């Protein structure tokens, strides 16, 4: 790919001078630029992560006897042996009257909690969980929207050393049971419903099914969100507000725990089988997020951060950790386009300084004709984060043309697997069109070909060749670690293979071309789907698209499915325009053999296009675990379209 040599944005001297990253460099590697800092961070991981610990002021009870042991084991490295800490204590280090949480709902609701109020409510809920008999290692689950109560419940569980796991209420009962059923929670927090796209969603029936399928649950706590009603449960049912009132005045108490004590169980998408329960440790998650928030995102107490997410996506966990910086979190629950510019309205009204969203949202905002640079006061905004899928070069253009010219656009990439980023923002570096700024500090990221040879300037597998603190503790119900090793270390022994198809250029920037398992292979040439989508979604007629490989004899042909703007029909003229554009702007190899119109495209609950599910469906193979999809009915549109039989 031809590299863009002129940056779209560069930080001014004042921003560089005031950055947390500059202070970190001055303290630990004076005179270094980012490239030298990165090289040091991966060459000397023990020194680097010890520096992050000290610079961020990790609150702990016992110091580490060793920062890193068995560094040559992947997996198997041991981080911060002997250290004890509590995750929740680090997020509640501030107890003043500055705002911690601001909730905005699509109904117009607004609530604000100061750090002092947040700590008080966490203390009360911790007392309630302790009275329920919750102990370290017990599981506490939340079926909740992105509301303050979800963060309070998580912090209360973490205070005691319980393991938290959450699903958003748009998950169906079976999808929730596929997840929570694995971990057997002792206490479950539920909501009566939620609001989405202007309509209340009653979850009472779903909650009843979920609780009936969780015989491990001993106590249930219901949060009223105004969407329905939870009136009974097979075990004691408690009202959230009544529990808070009963335990008011109880100071937070934090159980000191080992660095690798389990904190979260997150889940794989589950589109190819039952979701894998990925266990993340408290210390590794905390340290990774402190690095990303403080060094890569440059958060301070003066920032106001919004990230458009649900409790079913790891970005909710990432967002919650930002409390450790003392900034203000803006929690939004609802549809992003319930009003045309809902998120930008909130960003302006709440003086948001760091705005996090998905590449899909930015593409939809552009297609909707939103130009907040003209319509909104975004003078407080200094950083825009994008993740979830690759942001097309045209998305970069849209941000700088129509959102704000002077903003750090940090397109970041990582995953649930590490609850963090392999590729991150650099607040003291330039932004280039279509390019993720840099490999994240402390993450020894390389690009390998199929034979395990390192690549530069060519597409290949994203790998990490050295251990890092936020590697999973393991998978749930995987006592010998065999499933964990098979997931990441089978392709290249001793090396983490992440499953992303990427390219690293000479200046250290990265381009993500899609998921490796969705790579197309016509004529034996590997093609990333992201390149195809970037071209196709430039067409005003197309809302979204999915490309998959159809196996034919001993080769693969590219099949492109498009969902058009309502009222339009795919004809030969549009097909020819699409093929001509793809041939000219991408490559002849990318030109689809078939272009078909569909009414809908299946997506995971976190909003990602389910390419593998579509691939299975068109070949007439069963698509397992339809409950992992937000719109499982869409699969029927593809079933057996190319079934050779």
The residue whose two tokens read 């593409």 is 363
3-state helix, strand, coil in the chain (%, to 5): 35, 25, 40
Strand partners, 413: 423
Please give the full DSSP string across 557-606, using - where no structure is assigned: EEEEEEEESTT----HHHHHHHHHHHHHHT-GGG--SEEEE-S---BBTT
Does the pLDDT value for residue 40 go beyond 80?
yes
Tens digits of residue pLDDT in 246-303: 999 999 999 999 999 999 999 987 766 788 999 999 999 999 999 999 999 999 999 9
**With 70 as the cut, is the pLDDT of residue 553 above it?**
no
E strand map for 326-429: 328-333, 354-358, 383-387, 408-411, 413-415, 420-424
Token pair belonging to 154: 């998580």
Report which of 617, 604, 509 is spatially closest to residue 175, judged by C-alpha positions: 604
For residues 334, 338, 343, 347, the Cα torsion angle rounded to the nearest 10 degrees is -100
348-358, pLDDT tens digit by residue?
999 999 999 99
Q: Within a 10 A sphere around the Cβ of 475, how many other Cβ atoms?
A: 21
By the 8 A CB rule, do 50 and 56 touch?
no
Fold of 519-637: GMP Synthetase; Chain A, domain 3 (3.30.300)
| pLDDT (average), residues 238-249 | 96
Distances in Å between the Cα of 421 and the Cα atoms of 5, 67, 294, 582 are 25, 21, 14, 31
Strands 420-424 and 354-358: unpaired
142-156 mean pLDDT: 98
Give the dihedral of Cα atoms 537, 519, 274, 173; nearest 10 deg: 0
pLDDT confidence of residue 91: 99
Q: Would you give the distance in Å from CA 342 to the centre of its chain? A: 21
Distance CA 559, CA 613 (A): 14
Helices assigned H by DSSP within 57-97: 87-91
pLDDT tens string 498-532: 999 999 999 999 999 888 877 677 766 667 787 78
Check residue 612 and give its pLDDT: 85
Residue from 349, 270, 352 nearest 308 by CA: 352
The CA distance from 465 to 498, in Å, is 11
pTM: 0.89
Instruction: Give dist(CA 613, CA 12) in Å, integer.
Output: 46
CATH topology classification for 116-258: Rossmann fold (3.40.50)
User: CA–CA separation, 401 vs 405, rounded Å?
Assistant: 6
User: Contact at 8 Å (CB) between 294 and 323?
Assistant: no
- Residues in contact with 124: Cβ distance below 8 Å, sequence separation at least 6, in sequence order: 243, 244, 246, 247, 248, 249, 250
- Examine the pLDDT at 587 and tell me if it is beyond 90: no
Residue 311 Cα distances to 142, 167, 248, 307, 569, angstroms: 9, 6, 26, 11, 37
Phi, psi of 23 (to 5 degrees): -65, -35
- 588 band by pLDDT with thresholds 50, 70 and 90: confident
CA 465, CA 360: separation in Å to the nearest integer?
30
At residue 428, what are phi and psi to the nearest 5 degrees? -110, 10
391: alpha, beta or left, given left = phi > 0 and alpha = psi -120 to 50?
beta
Contact 138, 116 (CB under 8 A): no
Q: Where are the domains of the chain?
A: 116-258, 519-637
Mean pLDDT over 534-550 rounds to 90
How far is the CA of 345 from the CAs of 67, 330, 337, 567, in angstroms?
45, 13, 11, 29
């Amino acid at each position: 790919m031809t590299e863009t040599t002129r940056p779209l944005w560069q930080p001014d001297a004042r921003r560089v001078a005031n950055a947390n990253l500059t202070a970190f460099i001055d303290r630990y590697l004076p005179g270094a630029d980012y490239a030298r800092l990165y090289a040091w961070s991966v060459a000397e991981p023990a020194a680097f992560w010890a520096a992050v610990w000290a610079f961020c002021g990790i609150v702990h009870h016992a110091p580490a006897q060793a920062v890193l042991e068995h560094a040559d084991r992947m997996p198997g490295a041991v981080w911060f042996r002997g250290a004890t800490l509590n995750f929740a204590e680090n997020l509640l280090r501030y107890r003043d009257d500055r705002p911690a949480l601001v909730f905005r709902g699509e109904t117009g609701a607004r609530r604000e909690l100061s750090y002092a109020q947040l700590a008080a409510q966490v203390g009360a809920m911790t007392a309630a969980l302790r009275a329920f008999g919750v102990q370290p290692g017990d599981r506490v689950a939340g079926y909740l929207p992105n509301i303050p109560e979800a963060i309070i419940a998580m912090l209360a569980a973490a205070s005691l050393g319980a393991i938290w796991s959450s699903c958003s209420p748009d998950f169906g009962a079976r999808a929730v049971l596929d997840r929570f059923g694995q971990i057997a929670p002792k206490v479950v927090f539920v909501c009566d419903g939620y609001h989405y796209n202007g309509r209340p969603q009653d979850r009472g029936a779903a909650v009843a099914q979920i609780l009936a399928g969780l015989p491990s649950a001993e106590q249930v706590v219901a949060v009223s969100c105004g969407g329905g009603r939870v009136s009974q449960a097979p075990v004691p049912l408690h009202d959230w507000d009544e529990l808070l009132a009963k335990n008011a005045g109880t100071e937070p108490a934090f159980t000191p725990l080992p660095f690798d004590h389990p904190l979260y169980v997150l889940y794989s998408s589950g589109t190819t089988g039952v979701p894998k329960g990925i266990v993340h440790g408290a210390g590794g998650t905390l340290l990774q997020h402190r690095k990303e928030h403080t060094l890569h995102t440059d958060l301070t107490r003066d920032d106001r951060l919004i990230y458009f997410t649900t409790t079913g996506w790891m970005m909710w966990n990432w967002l919650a950790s930002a409390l450790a910086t003392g900034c203000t979190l803006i929690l939004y629950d609802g549809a992003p386009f319930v009003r045309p510019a809902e998120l930008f309205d909130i960003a302006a009204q709440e003086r948001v300084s760091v705005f996090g969203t998905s590449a899909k949202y930015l593409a939809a905002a552009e297609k909707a004709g939103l130009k907040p640079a003209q319509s909104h006061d975004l003078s407080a905004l200094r950083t825009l984060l994008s993740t979830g899928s690759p942001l097309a070069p045209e998305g970069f253009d849209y941000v700088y043309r129509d959102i704000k010219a002077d903003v750090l656009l940090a397109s970041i990439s990582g995953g649930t697997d590490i609850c963090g980023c392999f590729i991150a923002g650099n607040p003291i570096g330039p932004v280039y069109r279509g390019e993720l700024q840099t490999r994240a500090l402390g993450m020894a990221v390389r690009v390998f070909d199929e034979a395990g040879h390192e690549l530069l300037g060519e597409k290949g597998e994203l790998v990490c060749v050295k251990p890092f603190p936020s590697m999973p503790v393991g998978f749930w119900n995987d006592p010998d670690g065999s499933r964990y090793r098979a997931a990441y270390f089978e392709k290249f022994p001793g090396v983490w293979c992440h499953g992303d198809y990427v390219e690293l250029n000479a200046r250290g920037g990265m381009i993500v071309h899609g998921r490796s398992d969705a790579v197309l292979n016509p004529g034996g040439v590997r093609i990333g789907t992201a390149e195809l989508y970037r071209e196709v979604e430039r067409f005003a007629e197309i809302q979204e698209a999915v490309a998959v490989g159809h196996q034919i004899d001993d080769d693969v042909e590219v099949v492109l499915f498009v969902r058009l703007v309502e009222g339009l029909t795919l004809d030969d003229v549009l097909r020819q325009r699409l093929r001509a554009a793809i041939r000219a702007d991408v490559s002849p190899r990318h030109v689809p053999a078939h272009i078909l119109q569909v009414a809908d495209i299946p997506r995971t609950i976190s909003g990602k296009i389910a390419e593998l599910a579509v691939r299975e469906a068109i070949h007439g193979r069963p698509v397992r675990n339809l409950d992992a999809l937000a719109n499982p009915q869409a699969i029927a549109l593809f079933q057996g379209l190319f079934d050779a039989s």
